[in-house]
Amino acid sequence: MSKRFTAGAVATAAALALTAAGLGVPASAAPSTSRTFTVVAEDGVAADTAVAAIRAAGGTVVSRSDEVGMFQVTSDRADFAARATAAPTLIGAAEQKVIGRKPKLDRVEQEHLTAAGAAGAAGAAGAAGAAAKKGAKLDPLDEKLWGLEMIRADKARKIEPGDRRVTVGVLDTGVDASNPDIAPNFNWSLSRNFAPDLVDVDGACEVASCLDPVGTDDGGHGTHVAGTIGAAANGFGLSGVAPNVSLVELKGGQDSGYFFLDPVVNALVYAGRSGIDVVNMSFYVDPWLYNCTANPADSPEDQAEQRAIIKAMKRALVFAHNKGVTLVGALGNNNEDLGAPRTDTTSPDYGADPYPRPIDNNSCWDLPTEGPHVIGVSSLGPSGKKSDFSNYGTEQISVAAPGGWFRDGFGTDSYRTDANMILSSYPKHVLQEEGSVDADGNIVAGFEESVFKQCKANGECGYYTYLQGTSMASPHAAGVAALIVSRYGKPQGRGGFGMAPDLVEQHLYRTAAEHACPEPRLQQYRNEGRDETYDAYCAGGVNFNGFYGYGIVDAYAAVKTPLKPNARP
């Protein structure tokens, strides 16, 4: 996915050592400080065979995911990576290093109106008035949720508000379960943290074990995503697309926002093992904008690194899908046609200087969105136009959904206002760290139109803020998928409940609201201050095209339209 839309890296991680087969393995190497690696086995290799090869290379297996042929290994050998990769049964040994990062979604692209007043207030009031007139208001802040109205989630919940048995995994930075809108739907028994704090990446640990307890989020991104999916419709704060489903924290990202291969894969495997119904993935893979199997511009070591990432991620996605998990992913924020990628000039994005990498579309992947069985979601602004930053293209897009667009509404009072983005739940302490909420929990002057505080009579408070990005579009689609499972799912196994992911995907596409390409098809964003790199051509017809896929997800149609198992979208 994209990193063109980010505010930059937040930390520098340790270097990844991954050596391609055929490279010279040193005849001897002096032992060094013990390090941690992720080792991926070749296809068809039994787990015990892989473990034996790891031991022979000088490694000790500390955890294993046999289902995907991945092993976490420690070794004090300086040449362990080379020895492991030289083994015919192993693809490679990757020293623990960041492979993904949640987007530093540009809340208002560093463009908060310093007056905090005129245009921002007018835009917010306009959006609120429109929603109130149409009766979309359910919880106090729902009048600001134009996204719920766009996908008709407000009407859908009158038929199907979601089933508590349906579980939605939020594979992200964590979930703040203390928010009064998250707490009623948070599933404590299934939630897990797969990403212990790493001092070199995250700073000092908050707890002695360095494993943050579930129900916390030191990044904020996961809590925002969770609120859009399933904030409770409880007369407080705001509500989500599927306000009665269960939210499951699958913490695969570090506090700093980075994502390591091992936690992400383990989270997906756990989701499959545990019967999670839907998993939302609003993150993208680093340090390469595209992971390629054999890009001539990359060194043999870097090629091997990317092959290991591709193999492990694809195996994990297939495993989860085959176990009944519907996978939904953000299409990315690089304003790029994923079927005709530009030369990558931003990778690697740390540890070494970036260099030009021509991208072969047939051998390079933007993961997880281009992985198998992932429903890719583009972002729309309140006008229904594709957000200027959103990726697109007929090869990878599935559907479109509200993701926000600060610059939407050119020529109107709503242009460049916070109300054009997506409002959702957010941790108080993160807002305090960002400077929009003070030490007493009060909103700082100048942020009244971008941050909201709701309190109960007992003093319990929830906080909410605006973000934009395909990371905000994906949870709208995930919420609709959860409603589909709620409406049409069936009892399974020992007290289980669910629905085949292929059927969920098919029904999501079939009930999406078709949307034709704009005219002219070549969309330019000069009025919004964007250069030619944001130009986007919409290919395709009304029933499927590069901006909207099969259409804009439609929660009401999804729960009202009878299921047709053999229908085509």
The C-alpha angle with vertex 285 and arms to 265 and 251, in degrees rounded to 5, equals 45
Per-residue confidence band for 99, with pLDDT thresholds at 50, 70 and 90: low
Closest by Cα among 29, 86, 95, 489 to 260:
95
Q: What is the spatial distance between Cα 475 and Cα 145, in angstroms, rounded to a whole number?
A: 14
Q: What is the spatial distance between Cα 337 and Cα 546, in angstroms, rounded to a whole number?
A: 8
- In this prediction, residue 531 carries a pLDDT of 97
| pLDDT, the chain, mean | 87
Q: Give helix then strand counts, H and E, for the chain.
A: 13, 23
What is the rounded average pLDDT of the residues 126-153? 73
Closest by Cα among 268, 242, 243, 401 to 324:
268
- In this prediction, residue 350 carries a pLDDT of 59
Closest by Cα among 421, 422, 338, 322 to 372:
322
Per-residue confidence band for 338, with pLDDT thresholds at 50, 70 and 90: very high
Q: What is the spatial distance between Cα 285 and Cα 137, in angstroms, rounded to a whole number?
A: 37
Q: How many CA atoms, within 13 angstroms, populate the side-chain half-sphere of residue 416?
A: 15
Q: What is the spatial distance between Cα 106 and Cα 468, in angstroms, rounded to a whole number?
A: 7
| Sequence letter at residue 337 | D
Q: What is the spatial distance between Cα 13 and Cα 439, in angstroms, rounded to a whole number?
A: 31
Neighbouring CB atoms inside 10 A of 178's CB total 18
- 385 bridge partner residues: none
Strands 90-95 and 461-467: unpaired
Strands 364-365 and 291-292: antiparallel
> Which regions of 399-557 does DSSP assign to beta strands (E)?
399-402, 422-425, 451-455, 461-467, 490-492, 496-498, 522-523, 536-537
Evaluate whether 252 touches 259 at the Cβ level (below 8 Å). yes
The DSSP secondary-structure symbol of 559 reads H
The string of pLDDT tens digits covering residues 106-117 is 443 433 332 333
- In this prediction, residue 549 carries a pLDDT of 98
Q: What is the spatial distance between Cα 388 and Cα 548, in angstroms, rounded to a whole number?
A: 13
The string of pLDDT tens digits covering residues 453-490 is 999 999 999 999 999 999 999 999 999 999 999 999 99
Residue 546 clears pLDDT 90, i.e. is over it: yes
Given the structure tokens 């964007």, which residue do they identify?
530
Q: What is the spatial distance between Cα 99 and Cα 259, in angstroms, rounded to a whole number?
A: 6
Q: Which of 119 and 444 is assigned the larger pLDDT?
A: 444
The DSSP secondary-structure symbol of 469 reads S
Closest by Cα among 477, 543, 554 to 516:
543
| Sequence letter at residue 228 | T
Given the structure tokens 């890009």, which residue do they identify?
295
When mean pLDDT is compared across 138-142, 303-307, 376-380, the lowest value belongs to 303-307
Q: What is the spatial distance between Cα 444 and Cα 5, in angstroms, rounded to a whole number?
A: 26
Evaluate whether 37 touches 90 at the Cβ level (below 8 Å). no
Alpha-carbon radius of gyration of the chain: 23
Residue 302 clears pLDDT 50, i.e. is over it: yes
**Helix intervals (H) in 62-142:** 80-86, 118-133
Q: What is the spatial distance between Cα 222 and Cα 27, in angstroms, rounded to a whole number?
A: 47
Given the structure tokens 């395909």, which residue do they identify?
470
- In this prediction, residue 6 carries a pLDDT of 30
Residue 379 clears pLDDT 50, i.e. is over it: yes
- In this prediction, residue 10 carries a pLDDT of 27
Q: Which of 484 and 348 is assigned the larger pLDDT?
A: 484
Residue 303 clears pLDDT 90, i.e. is over it: no
Per-residue confidence band for 1, with pLDDT thresholds at 50, 70 and 90: very low
**Dihedral sign, CA of 505, 509, 513, 516?**
positive
Residues 6+ apart with CB under 8 A from 148: 136, 142, 154, 239, 241
Q: How many CA atoms, within 13 angstroms, populate the side-chain half-sphere of residue 411?
A: 4
* 47 burial type by CB count under 10 A (0-12 exposed, 13-18 middle, 19+ buried): middle
When mean pLDDT is compared across 283-287, 329-333, 375-379, 494-498, the lowest value belongs to 283-287
Residues 6+ apart with CB under 8 A from 124: 144, 417, 418, 419, 449
Torsion angle, CA of 232/233/239/244, rounded to 10 degrees? 50
Residue 143 clears pLDDT 60, i.e. is over it: yes
Residues 6+ apart with CB under 8 A from 52: none
The string of pLDDT tens digits covering residues 498-507 is 999 999 999 9
- In this prediction, residue 356 carries a pLDDT of 97
Q: Which of 306 and 464 is assigned the larger pLDDT?
A: 464
Q: Tokens in use for 339?
A: 């079927």
The string of pLDDT tens digits covering residues 408-441 is 999 999 999 999 999 999 999 999 999 999 999 9
Q: Tokens in use for 476?
A: 């709208």
Supply the pTM of this predicted model: 0.89
The string of pLDDT tens digits covering residues 19-67 is 222 222 333 333 447 888 889 999 999 999 999 999 999 999 999 999 9
